[in-house]
Amino acid sequence: MATFEVHVTIENKPGISDPEGETILNDLVLKGTHKTVSKIKTAKMLKFTIQEKDQKTAQSKIQEICDELRIYNPMVSKVSFDILKI
Amino acid sequence: MKVGVVVFPGSNCDRDMYHVLKDVFKLDTEYYWHEKSLPKNIDAIVLPGGFSYGDRLRAGVIAAHSPIIKDVQKMAKKGIPILGVCNGFQILVESGLLPGVLLKNESLNFMCEWTNLVVENNNTPFSNQFEIGQKIPIPIANGEGRYYVDDDTLKKLKKKNQIVFRYDEVVNGSSHRIAGVCNEDGNVVGMMPHPERAVESEINPIDNKPSTLIFESLLAKMGVSN
């Protein structure tokens, strides 16, 4: 068994408004000198630490947990996974 | 007639709801802690407002996994009237008993103000005493109250008459200004505004009568005279 850290990023699907990201972009970043930024999206990240035999199993287990317990709401959110061995 | 008020860690409108059911409408009302089961002889269930589990992860999602929700789901299938208010609505949505999802308000603000609802469906256990189009002055108090459904689901809701209450004007960015919906059978109703804060004239500066009809509807459904 090895220990993995799986980062689960939950963000709104395209088409679902993200007023917090828009405010950070329009009222903070673009009001400064950083005119090359075109979009900011907020997201929530959960960092899972898990013991599994390999990376693939660790990720599929986390995916299963996220689906089963509705860690994200599939109607409005999407998730992505980043995995590292620790 | 026995009504159960389900209490989760972080519920904070449970006592207001209990008071209204018991003292105003004279119903046999009991609290049920979320880890317990519901008795079989219960006639109606209310999931009150509040901040179950501090809204952690997402409003209502952790409470939706509470043991008592399995009983609530069974009773929903049997056709027993179930009302979810505010956080109770969020829990009903997250437990799959009602369609849609409640997102952060468009303004990102916690909104605490009086709104006007318009009745769209008067064929549920919580709206059968209204006329279609009747207005209800009623307070909202939420941060995650923006009801969202995609276009296809919205079409289905309209077709199956599942939109129970709409806001009279844009309040928080909800799809189609929806404030309350029901399941396909119509026995499970969820709404963001707080009827328990509006039924008594002492605390309603506008008109308490329309809000009382939400509870009068339940009494009518159960054949109980107040």
Structural domain count of chain B: 1
Residues forming a β-bridge with B226: none
Reported as a single tens digit per residue, the pLDDT across B125-153 is 999 999 999 999 999 999 999 999 999 99
Q: What is the CA radius of gyration of chain B?
A: 16
- Which residues span the domain enclosing B159? 2-222
Domain at B201, CATH number: 3.40.50.880
Measured between alpha carbons, how far is A34 from A56 in angstroms, rounded to an integer?
39
What is the predicted pLDDT for the residue at B226? Answer: 57
Q: Is A20 an interface residue toward B (CB < 8 Å)?
A: yes
CB A46 within 8 A of CB A71: yes
Question: How high is the mean pLDDT of chain B?
Answer: 96
Tell which B residues from 85 to 144 touch A, by Cβ distance under 8 Å. Answer: 94, 100-101, 103-104, 106-108
Q: Where in the sequence is the domain holding A51, given as residue range(s)?
A: 2-85
Q: What is the mean pLDDT of residues B22-46?
A: 96
Find chain B residues with C-beta within 8 A of A66's C-beta.
none
Q: Are B214 and B122 in contact (CB under 8 A)?
A: no
CATH number, domain of A58, equals 3.30.1280.10
Average pLDDT over residues B99-112: 95
Q: Is the pLDDT reported for residue B18 higher than 80?
A: yes
Counting the structural domains of chain A, the total is 1
B98 closest CA partner among B36, B179, B17, B39 = B179
> Could you report the per-residue pLDDT of A43-85, keeping only the tens digit for each?
999 999 999 999 999 999 999 999 999 999 999 999 999 999 8
Give the number of residues written for chain B. 226
